[in-house]
Amino acid sequence: MARFIFITGGVVSSLGKGLMAASLGALLQARGYRVRIRKFDPYLNVDPGTMSPYQHGEVYVTDDGAETDLDLGHYERFTGVASRQSDNITSGRIYQQIITRERRGDYLGATVQVIPHVTDAIKSFALAETDDLDFVLCEIGGTVGDIESLPFIEAIRQLKNELGRGNSISIHVTLVPFIAAAGELKTKPTQHSVRELASLGVQPDVLVCRSERPLPEGEKAKIALFCNVPKEAVISALDAKSIYAVPLQYHGEGLDAEVLKAFGLPVGAAPDLGRWDDIVDRIVNPEGEVTVGVVGKYVGLPDAYKSLNEALVHGGIANRVKVNIRWIDAELFEQADSDIAASLEPLNAILVPGAFGERGAEGKIASIRFARERRVPYFGICFGMQMACVEAARNLAGIAGASSTEFGPTPEPVVGLITEWMGSDGLEKREQGGDLGGTMRLGAYQAKLAGNSHVAGIYGAGEISERHRHRYEVNTAYKERLEETGLAFTGMSPDGALPEIVERPEHPWFVGVQFHPELKSKPFAPHPLFASFIEAAVRQSRLV
């Protein structure tokens, strides 16, 4: 039977619950345990798929096509365990399921209530597909005291009773602020947060205290006394030099040992954290550095490109270099007085990421043209591949009106809406003007690579599987004319209907992909495309 670890947060948001959960999962893995991490999101959206990146940050996509919270990306990157649809639930999805059942008459005329119907649904989600696991870590989003999270707190209260002694614990992540004027760390917010959680029936077994400065032993003892936990279970969590140093830092503070003690399990020998030592060493002691410009639409919020940011770091780890990311607003290049060359010349590589909508598209096209003409390594992801094809059509194939139907009606739809494609369950169809949520080409799909292509050499394979999230595809009616410009279609869907990869063989490094390779990159297994891209950036830096 799996043991459950329920993770809550208090005082303020953005304390790093997701990173703590991911790090603890990695530490338990290093001790030989099988783990899975899940996220409970209290918001009423069914999933984050239709939310603005400025509201929610990145939408992380799983192999089975779920649009999920970005914390699932942390879980995968730290544990290597592929997330699934069943690993992220929202209040919206729970209420949608319950109301659907009520309309069908499944409740046999009963009054539908938060208790037991909503809490039972939450518990069912937590317990599903856990038979082959040793630990299930369940992170509850938001902050204790939020109205939205109350059904989730009640559900874990019930679960702790139903699972029985020794089969579940609670970890509470809280803030111990430093008041500079007083020169003191203040424990009162933590005390109040724990009291709020305990008033809802959940007593924490371990406290993770985020602070700017180390917690003195006296402050730990004070927190332990007033929060009713052992002093050893008060874990200090300071800012780390890299997020990949966090597992080592938590291990040094004894988090994994205290969790095992709380379950009554033997602590045993220290886990082998050699791969994390190596990752941190490569980050802290690079042998060089490169600068990559990301020409995007949501650059005001780096969390909108969280997996992309981390995949570039992983590419640096693979090449033992520091990757400096320069976030560039694509709209700046659409202004009449913009100097594109001045902005892009200092870069060792250029990347155009995925996006939706027309805003910034012309700036991205201008950046792609610069990379092509100046022979700067270029990586186009999803929208970045589509705009690379539009750029080639306009500037090399003589198709002046080349555009995407995403921007409105166009006489030259080089990029168009896909209305049907072959999925794992057969033919999938979508309609123009249909619902936005969950209607894209989502999840893992196979692609076949041309045998003599650059990308086949990078992957070392002729067939790949990558994750998708898009509604528009490059129109194969233009394939021949684009190939005449030197743009090679080196990756196609197995049925040959959908372009997956384009490249320029004569260019030092020019690759566009329809999928999102950043979603599968990990620090201990950098994605081959990102490793190769950063390698090309290193070569470019030596030419300057």
Q: Residues with Cβ < 8 Å from 52, sequence gap 6 or more?
A: none
Task: Please report the beta strands in 141-238, taking only residues with DSSP state E, as ranges in sequence order.
Answer: 168-175, 178-179, 184-185, 206-210, 234-237
- In which residue are the tokens 């005449």 written? 484
| Under 8 Å between Cβ of 209 and 16 | no
**Tokens representing residue 412 in the block:** 């030259």
Distance of CA 382 to the CA centre of its chain: 16
Q: Residues with Cβ < 8 Å from 194, sequence gap 6 or more?
A: 10, 172, 174, 204, 207, 226, 227, 228
Q: Closest Cα partner for 204 from 258, 253, 252?
A: 258
How far is residue 543's CA from residue 488's CA, in Å, rounded to a whole number? Answer: 26
How far is residue 102's CA from residue 121's CA, in Å, rounded to a whole number? Answer: 13
* Cβ count within 10 A of residue 442: 22
**Tokens representing residue 238 in the block:** 């300071």
3-state DSSP call for residue 22?
A: helix
Q: Closest Cα partner for 311 from 389, 388, 379?
A: 379
414 phi and psi angles, rounded to 5 deg:
-65, -30
Q: Residues with Cβ < 8 Å from 301, sequence gap 6 or more?
A: 53, 54, 57
**Tokens representing residue 58 in the block:** 């990145």
Name residue 415's amino acid. V
How far is residue 67's CA from residue 84's CA, in Å, rounded to a whole number? Answer: 10
Say whether 468 is catalytic.
no
Q: Please name the helix (run of DSSP H) or strand (run of DSSP E) that holds residue 429, with its range, or none.
A: strand 426-429
Q: Could you tell me the CA-to-CA distances from 142 to 6, 60, 61, 89, 303 in Å, in that order?
A: 13, 18, 21, 13, 17
3-state DSSP call for residue 470?
A: strand
Say whether 373 is catalytic.
no
Name the catalytic one among 138, 209, 227, 382. Answer: 382
User: Strands 349-352 and 289-296: what pairing?
Assistant: parallel
Handedness of CA 138, 141, 142, 147 (dihedral sign): negative
Q: Closest Cα partner for 12 from 230, 210, 297, 273?
A: 210
337 phi and psi angles, rounded to 5 deg:
-95, 15
Q: Residues with Cβ < 8 Å from 284, sequence gap 6 or more?
A: 241, 242
Handedness of CA 117, 120, 126, 132 (dihedral sign): negative
| Under 8 Å between Cβ of 25 and 78 | yes
How far is residue 227's CA from residue 11's CA, in Å, rounded to a whole number? Answer: 14
**Tokens representing residue 447 in the block:** 């692609």
Name the catalytic one among 310, 473, 518, 535. Answer: 518
Say whether 382 is catalytic.
yes
Name the catalytic one among 76, 516, 527, 535. Answer: 516
- Provide the annotated active-site residues: 382, 516, 518
